[in-house]
Structure 1
Amino acid sequence: MKSASPLNVFVASTPLQLISCSEARHFYGSSRETTLLIIARPDNRETEEQMAFLAEALGWHGIETIHLKKSSFYLRLGAVARNLARRTIKRLFIGNKSSWIHEVFYRGFDSEQLIFVDDGLATVRYYHAIHDEGIASRISSGKKRLLSAMGIRIHRTVPDVIAFFTCFPLQSSDLVEVQVHDFPVFRDTFKTSARDSDLTPLVGFLGQPFGGEDRLQQLRLQIQHVVERHPDSPIVYFMHRKETRADLERALAGFPVEIRQAGRPIEVEVALSGETYIAFYSFASTALFTLKKIFPEMQVFQIDDSALSAKLLYYGEIVGMFNSIGVETTSL
């Protein structure tokens, strides 16, 4: 580790978590010398590439960064544990509250303050879980034994009051202290580019790997709904990084839809592409909220799909949060 000063440690596994960590680093004034970023097992190559792009763009270059990849995860985790055991952690910023990998950090290492940053709409679910049942551990007894052999003792009691640093309009309580932000670092970094007036305006659809066995069937109905609302506009389907093109091509066969894998988070794509979007649609993608919050002039629609809404916890509250910032609801 570079400095004997107390550390601010940021743990992220997805692009949104890293964007959220960037906002938190700015808000809490974490200096370059006292910052440690841990990229904890991104789920695939697409995620790794997006996070590498964001780390460079959002000012993490030159900051000590540790990559915990799947291939060498346990070996590298042991080395990180030995280093952190000798250091004082001032603030520990956690991206995925329900991941056992992230839990290793907030239960295995002492810090002066524990702060949860956004992990999409899972943030809302976890906020309620804390109030309903506390923080349930995801670390099995077998993993505890393995971690202990590596020198990591899962010992820490979670604080009575946990801080949330979030873009969602959640309320502080006796268990959660909420700080809401509106992406000032993102806005300053990715200034909206001038739109190319020679390009045809598009309609965007945000993919998401939600819905189980009904997902693709309902997706066809949602796309049909969008096509009927915009019969003369090109429609672009932006794949979620966990979706596969082959599945989507089969499901959307016959619809005039272009399937794209943007290669960078959709918020960045909208800011930098120069293309104009008439509207964006999805069932309940987190990006419906972030796009509307970052680009308030844009039309954003949440598709009310009763077959999927029954499967989404706190659906009414989530739709209410969408509506509170101007996301409109349209029903199938």
Structure 2
Amino acid sequence: MQPSRPVNLFLACTPLQVLNAAEARDRFHADDDNFLVVFHSPRSAKKQTRLAELADDAIDSRWTRTWNLKLTRLSQLLFPFTASRLRQQIGLCQCLYTGGFQTQQRHLLHSIPHQQLIVFDGGAGVLQTAVNSWRTQGTRQRRLKQLIPGQNTSLPDLSKARFFTSYALDMPAESIIPNDYRIFRTQVSGKLPVRDEVVFFSQPLQRDLGLNIDIDATIAAVLQYHKASRCRWILHPRETEGPADAEKLPFLAEFFGLREGYLPIAFATWMSSVARSLPAIYGRPVTCFDI
């Protein structure tokens, strides 16, 4: 009888987290049993569908098994039972990766036995939550109100967690696993042609931060700075308005070169996480413009 293979569990709730989960899987656990749980938040139907489509597009066939969990009101009430079933099917994990700390993710972090907890990039906001908790662990831990019986929503102990990240965090080196997208880069075969344009990845700053942005002025600044003939404006999945020729990509930003078959002279944004991932993957600069 052959010994069972090590088991790893990855928790993701955004398309970027799915991508980073696959990067960690293929880099460290290629011969293991790897399970993926993707949470779909209860946003408006249109936005939820859009994010779900991007997440599905980023999921490949190399997962041992994948669960897509739609967080409706009923499914959230019944989540302790869902967590119990997952624990029975998965068992003890060598590594448990999480890209966030939503209520259901926290519950699984407490429910699924694991040897090592690893936090991976899901955007700077997720990392900031984890880093702040890591720094204050052991001094005071505030439990969230238990809204659902049998569901543990407290932030887990992160004092021994490690961080798989492309960000330069002010933490001890032994806590950091640098993510340079070395596995994803191998998919970029050959040298892609470069077009005379800048691709700008927009963000829902008015919705999220209440900021009014002069888009025309931003485009003018982008073209002047890079001396380009065109600015291709890409809306965020949660955005609905932009320039007349704005568009939404049917795939994650990190897949741009692979799917479009070319690269711009530069990428640009305000403060998106693509400022970290795209240079690592494609070697093209990303310019962050002032808000």
TM-score scaled by structure 2? 0.81
- Counterparts of 2:17 and 2:124, CA distance in 1: 12
Deviations 1:201-260 (A, max 9, x none): 22111111235464333545423422444676121111111111xx32xxx46xxxx311
CA contact (8 A) 2:11 2:98 kept: yes
Letter in 2 for 1:31: D
Q: Using the alignment, how far apart are the partners of 1:26 and 1:69 within structure 2?
A: 26
Structure 1 segment 121-270 matched on structure 2, within 5 A: 121-134=124-137, 139-143=144-148, 145=149, 148=150, 152=151, 158-173=157-172, 177-191=175-189, 194-195=192-193, 201-210=196-205, 212=208, 214-229=210-225, 233-244=229-240, 247-248=241-242, 252=243, 258-270=245-257
1:245-281 Cα deviation digits (max 9, x unpaired)? xx32xxx46xxxx311111011212233123412221
**1:117-162 alpha-carbon deviations (Å, 9 max, x no partner):** 111222442354125534966843213x2xx1xxx55689515311
CA contact (8 A) 2:7 2:92 kept: yes
Distance 1:23 1:137, change over 3 A: farther
Helix, strand or coil at the partner of 1:260: coil
Amino acid at match of 2:163: F
Cα distance in 1, alignment partners of residues 141 and 50 from structure 2: 30
- Tell me what 1:330 maps to: none
Cα distance, 1:123–1:217 mapped onto 2, change above 3 Å: same
> Within 2, Cα distance between the matches of 1:157 and 1:213?
28
Match of 2:53, SS state, is helix
Contact 2:205–2:212 (Cα < 8 Å) also in 1: no
Secondary structure class of the residue paired with 2:100: coil
Partner in structure 2 of residue 89 of structure 1:
93
Q: Distance in 2 between matches of 1:93 and 1:238?
A: 30
> Structure 2: how far apart are the matches of 1:41 and 1:107?
20
Structure 1: runs of 5 or more not aligned: 306-332
SS in structure 1 at match of 2:199:
strand
Partner secondary structure for residue 159 of structure 2 = coil
- Maintained 8 Å contact 1:9/1:36: yes
Provide the rounded CA distance (Å) in 2 between the counterparts of 1:26 and 1:294: 16
Contact 2:268–2:286 (Cα < 8 Å) also in 1:
yes
Distance 1:19 1:136, change over 3 A: farther
The corresponding residue for 2:8 is 8
Deviation at 1:292, TM superposition (A): 1.2
| 1:55-134 alignment runs, 5 A limit | 55-56=59-60, 59-60=61-62, 63-71=64-72, 73-74=75-76, 75=78, 78-85=81-88, 87-97=91-101, 99-134=102-137
Tell me, in whole angstroms, the C-alpha distance in 2 between the residues paired with 1:280 and 1:156. Answer: 36
For the aligned residue pairs, the C-alpha RMSD in angstroms reads 3.1
How far is 1:189 from its partner?
2.8
Q: Work out whether residues 134 and 158 of structure 2, in 8 Å CA contact, stay in contact via their aligned partners in 1.
A: no
Secondary structure of the residue aligned to 2:211 is: helix
Change (3 A) 1:214 1:225: farther
* Shift in Å, 1:193: 6.2
- Cα deviation for residue 105 of structure 1 reads 1.4
CA distance in 1, matches of 2:116, 2:215: 42
Q: C-alpha separation between the residues in 1 aligned to 2:158 and 2:222?
A: 46
Matches of 2:119 and 2:155, distance apart in 1: 16
Matched residue type, 2:229: S
Q: Structure 1 residues 31, 276: CA separation in 2 closer, same or farther (over 3 Å shift)? A: closer
Paired residue secondary structure (2:59): helix
- Give the distance between the partners of 1:227 and 1:155, measured in 2 at CA: 47
Aligned residues: 278
Q: Do the aligned partners of residues 269 and 73 (structure 1) sit closer, same or farther apart at CA in structure 2, a change above 3 Å counting?
A: farther
| Aligned-pair CA distance for 1:170 | 2.3
Q: How far is 1:166 from its partner?
A: 1.0
**Which 4+ residue blocks in structure 1 deviate beyond 4 angstroms?**
3-6, 135-139, 152-157, 211-214
Paired-residue identity, %: 20
